[in-house]
Amino acid sequence: MENYGDLIQKQRSFFTSGKTRDVLFRMEVLTKLRTVIKKHEQELMDALKADLNKSEFDAYLTEIGILLEEIRFTMKHLKKWAKPRKVKSSLAQVGSKSYIYPEPYGVALIIAPWNYPFQLAIAPLIGAIAAGNCAILKPSELTPQTSALLSKMISSHFPEEYISVVEGNAETSTALLNEKVDYIFFTGSVPVGKIIMEAASKNLTPVTLELGGKSPCIVHEDANLKLAAKRIAWGKYINAGQTCVAPDYLYVHSRVKEEFLKELKLAIHELYGENPIESGHFTRIVSEKHFSRLAKFLINGTITHGGRHEISSLSIEPTVLGNITWNDEVMQDEIFGPILPVLEYDDLSKMIGEVTARPKPLALYIFTESEDVQNEILSSISFGGGCINDTVYHLSSPYLPFGGVGESGIGAYHGKGSFDVFSHEKSILKQTTRFDLPFRYPTTKDALKKLRFFIK
């Protein structure tokens, strides 16, 4: 197992030099990063096509464009975020001034997944750079073309003592985790997230864990069914369902279930055509292992739409499963593929109880025109984030921190959240020397009486 201690020491020395603390330096790096991404845009699209069969539209929408917007937003606000901010002082601290100083942690380790192999490596990197850290990126070995290109892009434009890419398999991740870094940012599965947290605990290293879970999508009886069907089909089947916030399963009110399923089939056809596999534009499953896992779910319940799959191309077309119960295998873990199980409900409270009996999901989606129903679900179910009358779209907003809760994750990022997650907030009280309040000292006459006056 390779030792990465020398690389981490180089980065720690570079961080100690203070160069990354200069806000103008950070702005220059973000400008360069944006230029590098735009310069390699076509290569990125080609690599994503080779690794996952992503169309150029999907590649730009979900991997490139979203990052360019994140950089633009960060650069617009960075100088303000990086400034010490004044906060109130208490009455007992009269004469003093209180400030919070954001400061970088040092060397950040970013472990990225395979489903959005470029976006989910660079998005946290933007936050690490903005906050003033050095960074080591570990991309996924399951998307080798994108990982190799990412390595080339970073090594050609940034010194390794500042930003470095380390390619390799799980053993490489283990070797990196054995080293002492100052922050760990991981995106991936719940089981691996537990391994990351255990490794971090040995050095009490702070972590952000962006995980997953079974994210429910609820279609109430008063929903706009046609629009709901289109937005659910888009959110579920984009990237062949290999999205951590994709609707994992549907709960549809029994009164509108049949009508909704008709609209859902029409929406799938509109978005992906008659033969999504043959079209050549539908994202494939990342590996034979994941394909085989997903193919087993196709025997659960009844296939009401889709179901065709080809191991030769690692393709599974958009599929809808009916007659599903919580006992089916497809309902035991996050699906992470283009298979959508459908449950039905009559009683809202009972349905909420069935959702809350499971681990807290990363996302939740509600389709209803009723504010009472919206509020009941929002106040009853704990989840990372989500949408009302839409799916997935919340993660594109730089104003909405994105992250999980409970088993679906720890910490949140995007926009200012990315700056915050890679910053320690150092609290400072500046005390006056013009006078000294005597009540703080036990030798003062009637000290306790005076202390009680200030602290009631």
Q: What's the CA gap between 76 and 120, in Å, rounded?
A: 21
Catalytic residue check, 210: yes
134 assigned to active site: no
Radius of gyration of the chain from Cα atoms? 25
CA 162 to chain CA centroid, nearest Å: 24
Per DSSP, which regions of 168-290 are E strands? 183-187, 207-210, 216-219, 249-253
At 432, which amino acid appears? T
In a 13 Å sphere around the CA of 229, the CA atoms on its Cβ side amount to 20
Residue-by-residue DSSP string for 12-63:
HHHHHTTGGG-HHHHHHHHHHHHHHHHHTHHHHHHHHHHHH---HHHHIIII
CA–CA separation, 48 and 52 (whole Å): 6
Contact yes or no for 354/324 (Cβ under 8 A)? no
Residues with Cβ within 8 Å of 385's Cβ and at least 6 positions away in sequence, in order, are 362, 363, 394, 395, 400, 401, 402, 403
Amino acid, single-letter form, for residue 272:
Y
Reading the block at residue 306, the tokens are: 């889709």
- DSSP for 324-389? --TTSGGGTS---SSEEEEEEES-HHHHHHHHHTSPPPSEEEEE-S-HHHHHHHHHH---SEEEES
Cβ distance 149 to 167 under 8 Å? no
- CA dist 115 and 305 (Å) reads 24
Among the listed residues 63, 179, 210, 317, the single catalytic one is 210
Catalytic one of 70, 134, 217, 244 = 244
The partner residues of 309 in beta bridges, in order of sequence, read 316
Query: Any idea which residues carry the catalytic annotation?
Result: 210, 244
